[in-house]
Chains A and B, each alone.
Chain A
Amino acid sequence: MSALLEIDNVTKRFGGLCAISNCHVRVESGHTHGIIGPNGAGKTTLFNLITGIYKPTEGDIRFRSESIAGLRPGRIALKGIGRTFQNIRLLNNQSVLDNVRIAYDSQLHYSPVEAMLRLPRLGRDEKQSIGESLELLKPFGLADHAHGLASELPYGSQRKLEIARALALKPDLLLLDEPAAGMNTGETADLTEFLRWVKEHFKVTLVLIEHHMHLVMNLCDRITVLDFGQPIADGTPEEIRANPRVIAAYLGGTGDED
């Protein structure tokens, strides 16, 4: 059976520099796939390529074995790929609830005309969306703050809200960009458990960029290591631990600090 997501020989150049070169990654459906590597290795660029923010210079990206390379970001999101951002991108001046509702809106089907005349169907849909959004917020412990501003949440909760928001899309694939950034060891451990729960409960395939080796090693079924925009290793956590090139890449130092 073919993988849920296939990154097939993708290259991305920004003018001169080559952020990603001939990158192959296969993400099996139901897996948790970790992407690690030193800073500037092109991990986030890879996410931006998958979600359509950048268009690959060469190569193809297939989701459920249909090509999504070059589609508009909105389209790709609607195909069932949710993501979070490295430096959090919430709608800061909207309420926590609205942040989730906007993502949920893609499942409401009323037309502009119905909206402008505020016909009954809109009322039903909106009630439902509010209800489900609040439901969704509960497990993230955000239900009580539902009506506060997103920007007023503490840092950790903002990261959670981003995940909740991504899940409101009902995605099959969830891309997490450094979900544990800025968390201490304790928080990271909680996050690990939480992500497991999310994976079970929402039946999503996870791909995560992370620096916390502990989390990655515990959580991931497969790991891809990027260095200089190229996958230098791919395998189970054990294999990666043992892989000499990986160790070289990290300890040898790339000197590249972007």
Chain B
Amino acid sequence: MPQKNGRAWSPVRTGYVTMDGVVRGEKLGGEVSKVDASFKLRANVPEGRKRFSINQSLLPRRNSLSTKAIPMKNLPILLGVLVLMALAGCGKSSEPSVKIGLNTELTGEMPAVGASSQNAAKLFVDQLNAAGGVKVGEITLPINLVIGDNGAKADQAAAVAQRLITQDEVVAMIGPNASVCAIPASDIAEAAKCVMISPWSTNPKTTLDPNTGKPKDYVFRACFTDTFQAQVLAKFTLNNLKAKTAAVLYDSSSEAPNAQAALFKETFEKDGGQIVSFETYTNGDKDFSAQLTKIKSTNPDMIFLPAYYNDVPLMAQQARSLGITAQFVGSDAWSSPEIIKLGGAAIEGSYFCNHYSTQIATPIAQKFMADYKAKYGQEPDDVAALTYDAFGLLVEAITDAGNLDRQAIRDALAKIPKYDGITGTMQFQPGSGDPIKSAVILQIKDGEFVWVANAQP
């Protein structure tokens, strides 16, 4: 049977197709692909293709060693762009003023913190400049606020600190707020001998030199420390809430919650309480049911959740839906009003430790709250209040120093006898950047932060 013969005797066919393909292929390229394709079909390329999709995908089209290479036409354009950016970077105003840097978390994990901090800073500066400015010796100068966004990231915080201190040459830096940022930034400030006041970083490490363990000279804070907070919470939960057993659930990959959890465990156990389970999760987790189920099986009286405002609501809701009835207690990381918006019924009735309460406000605090509300249409949270206080402290120090020398400002700041701030009176312990000040315990009731108790140091 001739056809069969023709089919089976593939030399004929190979010869034909490819010869044809080659002849055409070399003359007019258009045909090749078609012939090629049919060729491929015969050569059964599919698996071949799949097998090599990886290699082929990465195949370059040009000789990787060719030198006519460098794309000359694009280079000048590129350079131009870079230069433009550079110029855009350095448009600095130069009328006499007091430059104060604000290094805060405008983007990243906790934008609410950065926003409050920035709002309070602007409020303070506007008010002061409206009143003429800050009195430096004989003259009064306006404040020039330089804001840097540290993205709530350690490395960026350090870079921003460098920029503010060495590039913008601020007399002092306020912030960062989050401990994860404040700690690296404080190294920079200390090295550059420039005052840094962190409004909200409660972590003991912020003001301590990691190598010597001694307090840093130029790093201050406007808030209490986690050590104090832990004591307050331990006392409150043991005495007022009559809790005997406690569970802790915290983000082991973030600085502040980690320290707070550890310190709470330590003090709670020292004061006679019992930690029945100590569970962790990783930053970015949204599902805590596994840990909570574990906690539930140990049946604690209270659960300590030292987490930021955007994690707590999830924990609370999941805990409740697992049938956990234990009392939630939190740290100052709760303080953003966002927590009420997000948490709803689940966190109703929970307690947490905070820096100040809008309900027991002193006259100055009243005024601040009024102004803040007027300007931004919302209650100031503690970050805002603390930032405002940090600026207050700094300005008082500058006035006392009578000049803009960083060293002088630092000495004046350390010597401030007693400062009446929004968040209560504060005074720096001799040879330390940690102020002596009180804390408050708040409860979340009917969607509000309700004052429960004061805790004196």
A236 CB, min distance to chain B CBs, angstroms? 20
| Chain B residues in 8 Å Cβ range of A155 | 22, 25-26
* Beta-carbon contact of A154 and B26 below 8 Å: yes
Q: With CB as the reference atom, state the residue of chain A lying closest to B48.
A: A87
| Chain B residues in 8 Å Cβ range of A182 | 14, 18-19, 21-22
Count, chain A residues at interface, CB 8 A: 29
User: How far does the alpha carbon of A248 sit from the alpha carbon of B1 in the complex, in Å?
Assistant: 13
User: How far does the alpha carbon of A192 sit from the alpha carbon of B369 in the complex, in Å?
Assistant: 98
Mark out the residues of chain A between 170 and 198 whose CB falls within 8 Å of any chain B CB in the assembled complex: 178, 181-184
* Beta-carbon contact of A213 and B5 below 8 Å: no
Mark out the residues of chain A between 211 and 258 whose CB falls within 8 Å of any chain B CB in the assembled complex: 211-213, 250-255, 257-258
* Beta-carbon contact of B43 and A250 below 8 Å: no
| Chain A residues in 8 Å Cβ range of B10 | 38-39, 211, 257
Q: Is A92 an interface residue (CB 8 A)?
A: yes
* Beta-carbon contact of A253 and B8 below 8 Å: yes
- Knowing A154-B26, A211-B14 touch, does A94 contact B63 (C-beta < 8 A)? yes
| Chain A residues in 8 Å Cβ range of B44 | 258
- Knowing A250-B9, A253-B8 touch, does A212 contact B15 (C-beta < 8 A)? yes
| Chain B residues in 8 Å Cβ range of A253 | 1, 4-5, 7-8
Q: Is A6 an interface residue (CB 8 A)?
A: no
* Beta-carbon contact of A93 and B60 below 8 Å: yes
B8 in complex: contacting residue of A92, A181, A250, CB < 8 Å = A250
Proximity bits, B24-37, A CB within 8 Å = 1, else 0 = 01100000000000
- Knowing A155-B22, A184-B19, A258-B44 touch, does A95 contact B63 (C-beta < 8 A)? yes
Proximity bits, A19-61, B CB within 8 Å = 1, else 0 = 0000000000000000000110000000000000000000000
Q: Is B61 an interface residue (CB 8 A)?
A: yes
Mark out the residues of chain A between 80 and 110 whose CB falls within 8 Å of any chain B CB in the assembled complex: 86-87, 92-95, 98
Q: Is B11 an interface residue (CB 8 A)?
A: yes
Q: Is A149 an interface residue (CB 8 A)?
A: yes
**In which size bucket is the chain B interface?**
20 to 34
- Knowing A93-B60, A93-B62, A94-B64 touch, does A212 contact B22 (C-beta < 8 A)? no
Q: Is B59 an interface residue (CB 8 A)?
A: yes
B59 in complex: contacting residue of A87, A92, A251, CB < 8 Å = A92
User: How far does the alpha carbon of A258 sit from the alpha carbon of B44 in the complex, in Å?
Assistant: 7
* Beta-carbon contact of B8 and A38 below 8 Å: yes
* Beta-carbon contact of A149 and B18 below 8 Å: no
* Beta-carbon contact of B63 and A93 below 8 Å: yes
| Chain B residues in 8 Å Cβ range of A178 | 14
* Beta-carbon contact of B11 and A213 below 8 Å: yes
Q: Is B65 an interface residue (CB 8 A)?
A: yes
A39 CB, min distance to chain B CBs, angstroms? 5
User: How far does the alpha carbon of A86 sit from the alpha carbon of B10 in the complex, in Å?
Assistant: 15
Residues of B near any A CB (own CB < 8 A): 1, 4-5, 7-11, 14-15, 18-19, 21-22, 25-26, 42-45, 48, 59-65
18 A–B pairs (Cβ distance < 8 Å), ordered by A: A38-B9, A86-B43, A87-B45, A87-B48, A93-B64, A94-B63, A155-B22, A155-B25, A181-B14, A181-B18, A182-B19, A182-B21, A211-B10, A212-B11, A212-B15, A253-B4, A257-B7, A257-B42
3 closest A-B pairs by CB: A182-B18, A253-B8, A211-B11
